[in-house]
Structure 1
């Protein structure tokens, strides 16, 4: 039988069951007497075996069959749950995942599973004589041959949709938004009431359509968070530490494009927290702390942003040590280091090549990590801040936009060109008197409600004729990144507009302070300013 038409369904559902097994095995480690958890793991393993049988993947069948036998012995109280048994079951699930990913990459999924399968087999043989277990090759509850594409959960119908189709739908909608802008421009030029009414109606309809499409693309952050408990468990054991990971807000949703990009950054932060933040059990006890360290991973919505926070209860950032290493590595001079504020010292740990590790290990010491995290977050239109208390711990807070595709901007004139500044970065816009501009440390600054804010001439940044300093007034946009601000000097304001953010492509991806472009209703191209790059 040709099973290729069911391959995508097999891959999707296999990944779900493998993830479920990982999560449940970790839960079982904390509650070894909870047979309900064992039964859940058994069902997921059994379903994975059934689907593999239907598709003809013999090595997955062999491995999951041995996993089933061990789980069956546990739930029938023939053997007890131990750390060694859980380690072996987790390794078996890892190997199953490797085979599924190989199949996804176009491989056969064939792998030598005999070593782990034999070890699982010995777990029972060393305790009791193995019972003969006879099961159907295909679980009726899964029945992948039936081509099931619709699942019913809590009376809410859900259907699997290929991601590529969602991307195509989004691209078509983006083109519709561009044409809507063009139609609005034509309506404004002709002053035709019927046309204006039609444009207003199209605007309302496309607004509703946009909301539906964006919701379809939203994915809970748990798709990323779920991989971390297992990683924390293994890394803590490798480093001889005891660490508990607490996750809250896992149902918080983000655009799939953002979700796909943040996983590696969070891995870096968690590894950093375990290696550099959490102390060893003995050290923690001498400080009056619990032997078990704690890491909290939180996600929540606020306005048009999602915040992700990673907080540990470790030793905090040693600021003197950070400054010393920064000077040794040539990141800052000794004179400048002595003048840095607490917040600026903390930011040094995200400098390229910075590391406080004395020796190079698999976890740290190569000077690669937090600078990559900062670059990735800022490339997504977000920013990261650090707070730390000596002896109490460190918190990283990441702010991310809900979506990267369609954003609201302030359009401005720079000479004959139009630029777009994301509204999420803007604090306020104003017309100021040229005489209000001051000089401090060889920089132009302005007083904004008691705060001294540096000015950035966008014309100078983009190598255009600079702003006329003889003019009585200047147009300024105050933007921020975390607790830092900057004032952007422009020629004039055009107004707010919803735009489709387009990539500039590989050849133009490294242009300073430009994050993309958009096509306006007039057909002109407007570049989108990356405010994070302009705020120092």
Structure 2
């Protein structure tokens, strides 16, 4: 069988499963005893194994098979989640992602995974002794469970079938502990604040009389994870060790709901996915087909504009009604076609939790990433481009923003820093914020580096605003890192972010409060192919200006003009704004209109405002952006061209 015809489907579906593996492994790290998460990870690994074997990618199939063995032991409670196990599973997923990348680029899938495979096998074999201890403890608990009274049994059963965790905790005091009863009281007091103690072994009176050796046990119910419970106990002095095990009820005592969650999870999920009314509702469409459809529609928009122009010159009511109906239908078609190209930014955001985890470990920092607004949709052409800028900003927050845990504690903060990645839509723009609660931007440090790089003189630096200082960070080659590392110090970063975002028709801004944190905000247009524009006339030429950059329009005769440093300027909202006469600036041939009858268009990009002088304002129009040929790549000031209703080409001005 020729397998090449299935390779695209294999790559798409494998990428989805790998993304799911990354997400669920991060969840499992925070909730190591959640069976539903383990089942989902197992299912993705199992599906990947089957797909790889079918496509005859043996290395990939072997690696996923070893992952499946370890995950199966986790499902059957024969292994426990450890940091070593999680690191190895993430390492395996990295290999799988690189294998898919090799296959996607047409290379041979021959990555050496023997080291990771051996680690997985060692983990499976090394926990045999721990497994025996676990089973012995479980049997011990089952005996203890039978000794509980009716109320205690029902409390443990209710906890096991809800979000509450039933724990057995074995605590050993240090040999030199002087007042054992006091330590026991402190443990009971601390645990009572985060949960409920069901039983103590030995009983409480014997603990109070210190009638026990150095070890005592508890049956404890809490919504907190085991790591939190252990940390709470270990904060008490003279505690030698704490062993915590989440309890599994004896089989005859299990709740039906718990049994279903464990043994029927895969079947239920399969039924849900294949239930009537959901199958066959979606279809995969190649992106090239969508691009071709959009190109055809763009031609239709151009011809619609020509038809509207012709209709205006002919007094025919029926023709005008028909053209108006075509305009309405084409607007609806435009919404549908553009929505087909829209994708949630979740596709980009989903890869960042894993990156933040790895980088935080590398930098020896504790960081929590909060993602909101991942369902916000943006054009596919934008989706493909925004990943790298966000990576730069996240790495900047991790390296320069979030402090080391000990530094944060000294500053009165929690040792774990927070980075918030947020997306939302306002009007025709998408906003993406990267906000951290780190140390903020050091104005003095930035200024010192700017003076060193010759961006500003020491005399000029005294009176500049914070925003002007922050703008220095976006200069090419600018870096305040003291040494070069894998994360920073090479002078490549924020300048790349700015140039990429501005090439997409957007802008990036920054706000910061020393000691409180920093926020970067990216503003992007919803789509890059069809925009609202203002058509202007300069001599005999027509130009288009994106409405998104226009603040206001006015007649030149209505504006008070002044001369500063041999340049004509105006005052706009307490700001001095320079004039740019487009006839002179663009060297447009032909006679220009009388100066007093010209129009002024006030435009803004980033924090800069200018006033463009044109002969006439022709009106608003929806235009299709056509990229300029590579022969014109050396020309500045134009972002593309469009075809007008009369068939003429109009250049689109790039205000930046």
- Cα 1:417–1:76, aligned 2, differ >3 Å: closer, same or farther? same
Report the equivalent of 1:76: 76
- The answer as to 2:39 corresponding to 1:51 is no
- Check conservation: 1:411, 1:419, Cα contact below 8 A: yes
- Cα 1:191–1:169, aligned 2, differ >3 Å: closer, same or farther? same
Cα distance between partner residues in 1 of 2:484 and 2:591: 50
447-456 vs 16-25, greater mean Cα deviation: 447-456
- The answer as to 2:349 corresponding to 1:225 is yes
- Check conservation: 1:50, 1:142, Cα contact below 8 A: no
Report the equivalent of 1:248: 372
**Shift, 1:186, TM fit:** 2.0
Q: 1:294-323: CA deviations, max 9, x gaps?
A: 100000010111100000111111111101
**Shift, 1:447, TM fit:** 2.6
**Shift, 1:273, TM fit:** 0.7
Q: 1:356-395: CA deviations, max 9, x gaps?
A: 0111111111111101110111111111111000111110
> Which SS does the other structure have where 2:282 is aligned?
strand
Cα distance between partner residues in 2 of 1:409 and 1:376: 22
> How do residues 478-493 of structure 1 correspond to structure 2 at under 5 angstroms?
478-493=602-617
- Cα 1:307–1:510, aligned 2, differ >3 Å: closer, same or farther? farther
> Which SS does the other structure have where 1:472 is aligned?
helix
Q: 1:477-531: CA deviations, max 9, x gaps?
A: 1222345432211111011111100111333234222111111111111111122
- Cα 1:466–1:286, aligned 2, differ >3 Å: closer, same or farther? farther
403-412 vs 433-442, greater mean Cα deviation: 433-442
> Which SS does the other structure have where 2:281 is aligned?
strand
**Shift, 1:12, TM fit:** 0.6
> Which SS does the other structure have where 2:528 is aligned?
coil
Cα distance between partner residues in 1 of 2:105 and 2:287: 16
- Check conservation: 2:367, 2:419, Cα contact below 8 A: yes
Cα distance between partner residues in 1 of 2:95 and 2:369: 24
Report the equivalent of 1:513: 637
- The answer as to 2:282 corresponding to 1:158 is yes
Report the equivalent of 2:118: 118
Point out the structure with max Rg over C-alpha.
2
Cα distance between partner residues in 2 of 1:207 and 1:170: 13
> Which SS does the other structure have where 1:399 is aligned?
strand
- The answer as to 2:512 corresponding to 1:370 is no
Cα distance between partner residues in 2 of 1:191 and 1:202: 18
Cα distance between partner residues in 2 of 1:448 and 1:160: 51
**Shift, 1:154, TM fit:** 5.4
- Check conservation: 1:459, 1:466, Cα contact below 8 A: no
**TM-score scaled to structure 1, two decimals?**
0.92
479-488 vs 251-260, greater mean Cα deviation: 479-488
- Check conservation: 1:518, 1:527, Cα contact below 8 A: yes
**Shift, 1:96, TM fit:** 0.9
- Cα 1:90–1:195, aligned 2, differ >3 Å: closer, same or farther? same
Report the equivalent of 1:433: 557
> Which SS does the other structure have where 2:556 is aligned?
strand
**Shift, 1:243, TM fit:** 0.9
Cα distance between partner residues in 1 of 2:626 and 2:593: 34
Report the equivalent of 2:2: 2
- Check conservation: 2:603, 2:611, Cα contact below 8 A: yes
- The answer as to 2:320 corresponding to 1:196 is yes
- Cα 1:153–1:71, aligned 2, differ >3 Å: closer, same or farther? farther
> Which SS does the other structure have where 1:433 is aligned?
helix
> Which SS does the other structure have where 2:433 is aligned?
strand
Report the equivalent of 1:206: 330
> How do residues 326-475 of structure 1 correspond to structure 2 at under 5 angstroms?
326-433=450-557, 436-464=560-588, 471-475=595-599
How large is the Cα RMSD of the aligned pairs? Answer: 2.5
484-493 vs 59-68, greater mean Cα deviation: 484-493
Report the equivalent of 2:86: 86
Cα distance between partner residues in 2 of 1:37 and 1:24: 6
- Cα 1:196–1:221, aligned 2, differ >3 Å: closer, same or farther? same
- Cα 1:27–1:530, aligned 2, differ >3 Å: closer, same or farther? same
- Check conservation: 2:304, 2:645, Cα contact below 8 A: yes
**Shift, 1:416, TM fit:** 1.0
Paired positions, count? 519
Report the equivalent of 2:297: 173
- The answer as to 2:423 corresponding to 1:299 is yes
- Cα 1:240–1:422, aligned 2, differ >3 Å: closer, same or farther? same
**Shift, 1:470, TM fit:** 6.7
**Shift, 1:152, TM fit:** 8.2
Q: 1:413-449: CA deviations, max 9, x gaps?
A: 0111111001111122111327611233544322334
- Check conservation: 1:318, 1:390, Cα contact below 8 A: yes
- Cα 1:289–1:442, aligned 2, differ >3 Å: closer, same or farther? farther
359-368 vs 508-517, greater mean Cα deviation: 508-517
Report the equivalent of 1:134: none
- Cα 1:338–1:511, aligned 2, differ >3 Å: closer, same or farther? farther
Cα distance between partner residues in 1 of 2:267 and 2:634: 53
Report the equivalent of 2:61: 61
- Check conservation: 2:473, 2:479, Cα contact below 8 A: yes
Identify unmatched segments of 5+ residues in structure 2. Answer: 132-265
> Which SS does the other structure have where 1:159 is aligned?
coil
Cα distance between partner residues in 1 of 2:304 and 2:315: 16
**Shift, 1:141, TM fit:** 12
Report the equivalent of 2:620: 496
Report the equivalent of 1:103: 103
> Which SS does the other structure have where 1:289 is aligned?
coil
- Cα 1:24–1:185, aligned 2, differ >3 Å: closer, same or farther? same
- Cα 1:505–1:343, aligned 2, differ >3 Å: closer, same or farther? same
Cα distance between partner residues in 1 of 2:584 and 2:576: 21
- The answer as to 2:529 corresponding to 1:529 is no
Cα distance between partner residues in 1 of 2:50 and 2:351: 24
174-183 vs 258-267, greater mean Cα deviation: 174-183
Cα distance between partner residues in 2 of 1:237 and 1:511: 46
Identify unmatched segments of 5+ residues in structure 1. Answer: 132-138, 144-149
Cα distance between partner residues in 2 of 1:508 and 1:412: 22
